[in-house]
Amino acid sequence: MTTALQVTSPDVHGLPVETLTAILFSLPDPTAPIEKTTLFRRSPASHTASKGKSLERLGWLPAAWVSKTWRSVVLAQTHYRIPIVANDERSLAVLESLSPLLIDLYVDEDVWMRSEGAALRIKSAFDSYGHRLHSLRVCTILESRYDEPEPASGSLLPNIMRDVDAPFLEEFHAAGRWRRLRGGCTGPSYRDRYPRAISFPDHLSRVRVLDIFGCTVANASALRSCAPTTVKLVASPGLWDQDICRDPDILSDVDGVVIERFAMPFRFDALRHLYLDEDSLPSKEALAVLGPIILPVLESLHLSGLVMRVEDAFRALVFPSTVSVELSCVWDQWHSMDVWDQWRSMNIRDVIAADPSSRPLHTVLAAKYGGSCDSLKCMELVIEDNKLTLKCLSEDGRTSLSICLYYTPAQGPPDYDFTNCELFLLGTFDLFSDIRELAIFSSFEYETYMRAGYASRRCQWYTLAERSLTNVTKVVLSTQAAIHLLEFCETRRDIGQEHDVFPMLEEMELLMKSVRELTSSLVLTDKTEISRLLRAEQEARAHPFRATLKDADSDEDRKWVQRLTEQSNANASGNTSERKDSTATL
């Protein structure tokens, strides 16, 4: 009888580094990397990111992984780059054993400041293994440099990083403290509250990924010869405009480098993905000096911030028509008071008669999409009390343009006003009037607002759609959006006016919830009212459309109802048992 061959996994626990190194050298080059986690945020409760289990969960392991996960790293060949926490006391031995593989190094400035031994290990890692660096991730400390003690090592981490020889560095990630600047970076107390400085290794040329969060850059000229493919800058001013308050004792650009007030931070000829938030956008002054910014191979663009600043940046960028664009804009009462006062007195007729130049984003959207918007056949609109989100999709379903327009109340209770969104919709409906499919979603508590001295009214998207969207053949509506549209049509009929909302309509798809706060009467009321309005609208049209109802409950809705039902049944069962017990006792 033949005994089945038993295959056992090799036990590498406890093997010396020399043996593991020999195993590594005997293996072929591992396959592509699988570690793609973004730079994590530190928990406010922890003083250093290397504490606890969070690093292991996110793929960043101290040197102890030699005995824990070598099998998955080396024998199973699941990693090509090995992420190392530089300040761990065993890191140097592990880095040596991994030669000649490229490495990803994680450095915590908080550890550097407070531990001389950790600082020496980090510096030794930079000196000995900088030439093998593929990725460098830095987490800055939270305190102001004005209030902190002197570093234990006697040197500041950015000054040490500036001198690192990293010819193969392709990814640079830095994370600081989140804050919204808006007030500028030139005030005397800037460094007490705003981002700390980081430094790049000088003479970089291979950087492909640049991910900076909540930091400023002391030696921005180090990036000038780089052509990254992915750039994400969040709350990180100063790359476009050098007129910012410098960090004390941090060395700036190398000697002999002429630093202009405004400059292109890097080359754009290879850039495929660009993400800029409001504190990282180039200023209007910088754009006037720099001129058009050409992005020949860009694939995705995200800009966020105040509407005026997003418009300025979007206007200056030149990119292919196939780029997927996402704009996230805020109208802030404090920064647009004159416009705000004008809006508060406008009704829907004023909106329709408004000058096109007053419509948010209309001018720049017309310049970018005026000649190519016929390729966008679908539009999706989500209306909420504090924002409006519009997406334009191509025929293959790819999102080509996404715009989120926020309203931020300045103070006191929310005083939502959708006049600005109606102005925005007027411009976009005019621009994308060729769309064939339109989806409108709004939740039950949304689409109404209060205006001081005025009665509440709805966001009248249907009035604007009647004016511009005459080619729509299919609409998809949430319950409330359907009721508002059909009530508008009924009101026009009651006063003897013929409406012309979606004259080419062939299909209306209604997304109805069967669960609404466990109150079935509301659902039944919705369905009864919509059925009445729908019949009246179809009878009034010369060419009736096809109407279908679909269940819009999400999995979360169903699970929530199931849990509440089970809890209710359990409580009822418990009460019954108690009554039986009390009866038996009597």
Residues 324-376 pLDDT 10s: 999 998 875 544 445 445 545 455 555 564 666 667 788 899 888 876 666 78
Q: What is the pLDDT of residues 554-571, one digit of tens each?
A: 666 566 656 666 666 666
Token digits of residue 225: 């010869």
What is the tally of helices (H) and strands (E) in the chain?
19, 22
Whether residue 568 sits in one domain with residue 500: yes
Q: What is the mean pLDDT of the chain?
A: 73
Whether residue 511 sits in one domain with residue 451: no
Query: Among 259-268, 449-458, 462-471, which is the least confidently predicted range?
Result: 449-458
pLDDT of residue 574: 60
Whether residue 27 sits in one domain with residue 143: yes
Give a yes or no: residue 466 inside a domain: yes
Give a yes or no: residue 270 inside a domain: no
pLDDT of residue 39: 33
pLDDT of residue 73: 47
Query: Among 171-180, 272-281, 474-483, which is the least confidently predicted range?
Result: 171-180
pLDDT of residue 259: 61
pLDDT of residue 517: 47
Whether residue 478 sits in one domain with residue 427: no
Give a yes or no: residue 212 inside a domain: no
**Beta bridge partner(s), residue 407:** 331
Q: What is the pLDDT of residues 366-408, one digit of tens each?
A: 888 876 666 788 999 998 877 889 999 887 777 789 999 887 5
Read off the pLDDT band of 448 (50, 70, 90): low
pLDDT of residue 575: 56
Token digits of residue 373: 């918007």
* pLDDT of residue 32 exceeding 80: no
pLDDT of residue 514: 64
In contact, 459 and 426? CB cutoff 8 Å: no
Read off the pLDDT band of 191 (50, 70, 90): low
Among 103, 138, 169, residue at a domain's last position: 169
214-239: average pLDDT: 87
Give the DSSP H/E element, type plus range, for residue 289. Answer: helix 284-290
Read off the pLDDT band of 321 (50, 70, 90): confident
464-482: average pLDDT: 90
Whether residue 456 sits in one domain with residue 477: no
Whether residue 460 sits in one domain with residue 524: no
Share of the chain above pLDDT 70, in %: 58
Query: Among 121-130, 222-231, 554-563, which is the least confidently predicted range?
Result: 554-563
Whether residue 460 sits in one domain with residue 329: yes
What 3-state class would DSSP assign to 535?
A: helix
Read off the pLDDT band of 530 (50, 70, 90): confident
* pLDDT of residue 484 exceeding 80: yes
Among 138, 169, 200, residue at a domain's last position: 169
227-253: average pLDDT: 80
pLDDT of residue 142: 59
Give the DSSP H/E element, type plus range, for residue 312. Answer: helix 307-316
Read off the pLDDT band of 318 (50, 70, 90): very high
Whether residue 335 sits in one domain with residue 433: yes
* pLDDT of residue 300 exceeding 80: yes
Token digits of residue 576: 């019954």
Give a yes or no: residue 57 inside a domain: yes
In contact, 47 and 110? CB cutoff 8 Å: yes
Whether residue 507 sits in one domain with residue 445: no
542-552: average pLDDT: 84
What 3-state class would DSSP assign to 371?
A: coil
* pLDDT of residue 282 exceeding 60: yes
Whether residue 499 sits in one domain with residue 442: no
pLDDT of residue 356: 60
Q: Which of residues 182 and 366 earns the better pLDDT score?
A: 366
* pLDDT of residue 551 exceeding 50: yes
In contact, 554 and 516? CB cutoff 8 Å: no
Count CA within 13 A, CB hemisphere, residue 71: 9
Among 131, 147, 169, residue at a domain's last position: 169
pLDDT of residue 312: 93
* pLDDT of residue 240 exceeding 70: yes
Q: What is the DSSP string of 26-88?
A: HSPPP------PPPPPPPTT-S-TTSSSHHHHTT-B-TTHHHHSHIIIIIS---SSEEEETTS
450-471: average pLDDT: 74
Give a yes or no: residue 176 inside a domain: no
37-52: average pLDDT: 34
Domain range for 27 is 21-169
Read off the pLDDT band of 251 (50, 70, 90): confident
Q: From the CB of residue 327, how many other CB atoms can be counted at a distance below 10 Å?
A: 23
